[in-house]
Structure 1
Amino acid sequence: MVPTDAMSLINTSLILCEPPYDEGRMPLVLLYSAVLAVGLPANLLTVYLTWLQVRRKNVLGVYLWSMSLCDLTYLCTLPLWAWYVSAGHWWLWSSAACKLTGYVFFTNMYSSIFLLCCVSCDRYVAVVYSVESRGLRQQRLAFLVTLTIVLLVAVGHIPVFIMKEGDAAEGRRRCFEPSQSSPTVTSFNYARFVVGFLIPLIVLMVTNHGIMVSVRRSTGLQRQQKKRVCWLAVAVVVLFLVCFGPYHIILLVRAVIFHFPQLEDRTCLFESTMYTPYTVSLGLSTVNSAINPVLYVLSSDNIRKELSRGLAQVCDQARVRPPTNRIQNQFQTSGLNGETQTHQRESPPGI
């Protein structure tokens, strides 16, 4: 049996090392709510626009459509996380629901990251090897790559179901709170940093740098077009670093701390100094799903054209809508019918 003094010391240590759950609670709830409010309609729109490109056999459209679906699924977990944080980090549902929510959250986040790499690689091949890539860039291959990524990420995150972090059945009712480390969690954090952040970062930097070099050397593009392509290449890397860099760096630090248990036990290093930055960085990682639709539109001329055609049709329909006044309708019926037919003939084939 454990001596009473030892048990008292352990209980005191656990109380002193409890993370500051109340710090940054409201800003995090507001951040989740804002990301959901912006990201949900934006991704719904891009799912539709990118699906039109998929139907037109556009290879890039396959990656963009798949990424928008991942972002939508990812966003659907935010109401649960916002509720959880607003309730003082108290999970109201079962342990199985906690683990399933965490699985969906992390699986779609990393699927989106890898698909973002696919978008950059596809643009790199299309820009740098525009002639040679005509036979390589096939829609069937794009679907195969996407399916492989989703399956590998889904299988790779199965350990989520056996982690104690997702055990909300005990008295504390916490869900994926980093208050306890284990060899499984530490190994998982190392893997997420290397495979889920470092390697994608290298891929994004190499491909987008290659795009910038090729575009600058091109003589067939106007100066404004070159600026737009270069700006997009820089924006992709910077947004990736801002959204995912802090979270994965903290994961790495947490994994390293696990190898120094004496330091952690004595100082509660993670709980006292890094828990609040950890929660903020995790919230920051969700911002990417709201910004991605902007990158979709900027990265594809075809999607911008689809959006322009859609907006033009909406404006045309609003412009030719008959007035509600009955007398005006009687005098203008014939003219409006003719005008409507004219607009229908002039409008390009649309969405």
Structure 2
Amino acid sequence: MGLILHSVTPVLTSVEYSPEVCSPSMPYEDSRILLVVCYSIVFALGLPANCFTTWLTFVQIRRKNVLAIYLFGLSLCELMYLSTLPLWAIYVQNQHSWEMGSMACKLTGYIFFCNIYISILLLCCISIDRYVAVVYALESKGARHQRTAIFITFFLFSAVLVIHCPVFILQDGEQTSNRTTCFETLPLNLQLAYFNLARFLIGFAIPCTILIFTNYRIFQSTEISSSLDKRQKAKVKYLAMAIITIFLICFAPYHLVLLIRSIHFLLHQKDSCSFEQHIYSTSAAFLCLSTANSVADPIIYVLASEHKSRRVPCVKSYHKLPA
């Protein structure tokens, strides 16, 4: 599936090579058990965890908690993706042969794309919100509103959903007698390679910079605070560390593969299939890490909710930290 799920704009439909020229010789069997087990475990653990988190964050929203808006959106996003995991497991088990029709393929691919970038953007929103509430506690007092958080979340969802709508008209999702795979473009083409570079920059590198900067400043402000006790400082740091860790473990390897595959294709177009065969198993393992995000995200709620429930004082004054 997802090393693999790379075409998201109409211009990517024109290719220099047959889009499945590498498929017959790809080492699908090497990663079959890993992917099926990964999808099964993530589905079994992630579905109840995110259902519970969705309900808890909804309760917090009714109590006028601003951060709960982003956490609620994150949980909904994960539930949307978790609903497709059984289909991906069946696909992988069937030797990457999609037997559920073109529309089902396009819909599951669409959800995969949207899940990655909605999750990344919402993690950025959570980090920025904590950055403002902690580093600029006095300045932001009374300035953070649920309406603003709802608007931002709705805008992010809408933008990502609209941007990925071209998935429904791409040839990669069509199921014909000559195509049985689902969104597996192997090897790449020039348009796809350039687009993957843009995905790495805009979808990963820039958000990563934002996350590192905001959480580093949170660490600094917490360290010099005289109003937080040792345990309270630890809770603030654990939340920041959890966000950065989830981002780097779940999304960094996947986007690193995008970068490496794209650069290699641009430099060695005639030898692309050979390289794709060598990197496929590694890419499958990185795909498992990105899927594990659906299990890891509820951890953020656990840390954030305990932090909020104890109403930790802000680091610049003795006012309480906004929720």
Answer yes or no: same fold by TM over 0.5: yes
Contact 1:94 1:169 in 2 (8 A): no
With over 3 angstroms needed to count, the CA separation of the structure-2 counterparts of 1:129 and 1:174, relative to structure 1, is same
Residue 196 of structure 1 corresponds to which residue in structure 2? 203
Q: Deviations over 1:144-170 (max 9, x none)?
A: 101111111112212323444333324
The 8 Å contact of residues 163 and 185 in structure 1, kept in 2 or not, is answered as: no
Paired with 1:161 and 1:179, the residues of 2 have a C-alpha distance of 19
Q: Aligned residue for 1:60?
A: 67
Q: Which has the higher helix share?
A: 1
Matches within 5 A, 1:76-225: 76-225=83-232
SS at match of 1:258: helix
1:147 alignment partner AA: F
SS in 1 for 2:285: helix
Q: Please tell me the root mean square deviation across aligned C-alpha atoms, in Å.
A: 2.2
Q: Which runs of 5+ in 1 are unaligned?
A: 1-9, 306-351
1:206-237 deviations in Å (ceiling 9; x for gaps)? 11111111111111111122123223312321
Could you tell me which amino acid in structure 2 is paired with residue 209 of structure 1? Y
**Separation in structure 2 between the aligned mates of residue 206 and residue 15 of structure 1, nearest angstrom:** 41
Which has the higher mean CA deviation after the structures are superposed, 228-237 or 52-61?
228-237
2:53 is aligned to 46
* 1:299 matched to 2:304: yes
Q: Distance in 1 between matches of 2:290 and 2:115?
A: 12
Q: What secondary structure sits across from 2:179 in the alignment?
A: coil
Q: Are the counterparts in 2 of residues 247 and 282 from structure 1 also a CA contact under 8 Å?
A: yes
- How far apart are the structure 2 equivalents of 1:201 and 1:66? 20
In structure 2, the gaps of 5 or more residues are 1-16, 311-323
Tell me which residue corresponds to 1:6.
Answer: none
Aligned partner of 1:24 in structure 2 is 31
Q: Assess if the C-alpha contact under 8 Å between 2:127 and 2:214 holds in 1.
A: yes
1:51 deviation in Å? 0.2
Any conservation in 1 of the 2:114–2:160 contact (CA below 8 Å)? yes
Q: Which has the larger radius of gyration?
A: 1
**TM score, norm. by length of structure 2:** 0.84
| TM-score, scaled relative to structure 1 | 0.78
Q: CA deviation at 1:109?
A: 2.2
Confirm or deny: 8 A CA contact 1:19 1:179 kept in the other structure.
no
CA contact (8 A) 2:235 2:307 kept: no
Contact 2:131 2:217 in 1 (8 A): yes
Q: Deviation of residue 281 (structure 1)? A: 1.2
Aligned residue number for residue 319 of structure 2: none
Q: Is the 8 A contact 1:297 1:304 kept in 2?
A: no
Q: State percent identity of aligned pairs.
A: 47
Report the Cα offset of residue 58 of structure 1: 0.7
- The total of aligned residue pairs comes to 293
